[in-house]
Structure 1
Amino acid sequence: MNRLAIITVGKTHSGKTTFARKLEEQLPNSVVIDQDNHAEFINAYYKKLIPSQGPNNLKYTITQTMVDYTIKQTDYHLIKCNSNRNQKSRLDNINYYKKNGFITIIVYFNLPEQVLNDRVKHTKRSTNIFRTASSFEEVLERQGKENDVKHPTLQEADYLYEIKSNGDVQDAIAEILEIKGV
Structure 2
Amino acid sequence: MKRLAIITVGKTHSGKTAFARMLEDVLPNSFVMDQDNQALFLNTYYKNLLPTEGPNTLKHALSQVIVKHAMEQTDLHFIICNANRSRDSRAYLLDELFPSDRFVRILVHFDLADEVLHERVTTSARSTAIFRDATLTFEELLSHQHREDVIDPIEGEADYLFVLKDSSEVESVMQEIIHLAKNQKPLNI
Distance 1:125 1:174 in 2: 28
CA 1:27–1:54: 2 relative to 1, 3 Å: same
Percent identity between the two aligned chains: 49
Check conservation: 1:71, 1:100, Cα contact below 8 A: no
Residue equivalent to 2:141: 139
Pairing 1:153–2:177 present = no
For residues 15-63 of structure 1, what are the alpha-carbon distances to aligned partners after superposition, in whole Å with 9 as ceiling and x for unaligned?
A: 0000000100010000001111110001000100111111111111111
Residue equivalent to 1:89: 89
The 5 Å alignment of 1:115-134 reads 115-132=116-133, 134=136
1:140 match: secondary structure: helix
Q: Could you tell me how far 1:181 is from its partner in structure 2?
A: 2.1
For residues 85-127 of structure 1, what are the alpha-carbon distances to aligned partners after superposition, in whole Å with 9 as ceiling and x for unaligned?
A: 1111111111120166011000000000000000000001111
Distance 1:44 1:130 in 2: 11
Q: Could you tell me how far 1:69 is from its partner in structure 2?
A: 1.0
Distance 2:50 2:71 in 1: 27
Give aligned pairs, total.
181
Residue equivalent to 1:41: 41
What's the RMSD between the two structures over aligned residues?
Answer: 1.2
TM-score by length of 2: 0.93
Distance 1:155 1:63 in 2: 26
TM-score by length of 1: 0.96
Residue equivalent to 1:177: 178
Residue equivalent to 2:187: none
With 151-160 and 105-114 compared, the bigger mean Cα shift is at 151-160
Q: Which runs of 5+ in 2 are unaligned?
A: 184-189
Q: Which runs of 5+ in 1 are unaligned?
A: none
The 5 Å alignment of 1:2-13 reads 2-13=2-13
1:115 match: secondary structure: helix
Distance 1:54 1:159 in 2: 32
Distance 1:100 1:48 in 2: 40
For residues 141-180 of structure 1, what are the alpha-carbon distances to aligned partners after superposition, in whole Å with 9 as ceiling and x for unaligned?
A: 0111112x11011221000001111111011101001112
For residues 1-23 of structure 1, what are the alpha-carbon distances to aligned partners after superposition, in whole Å with 9 as ceiling and x for unaligned?
A: 11100000000000000000010
1:157 match: secondary structure: coil
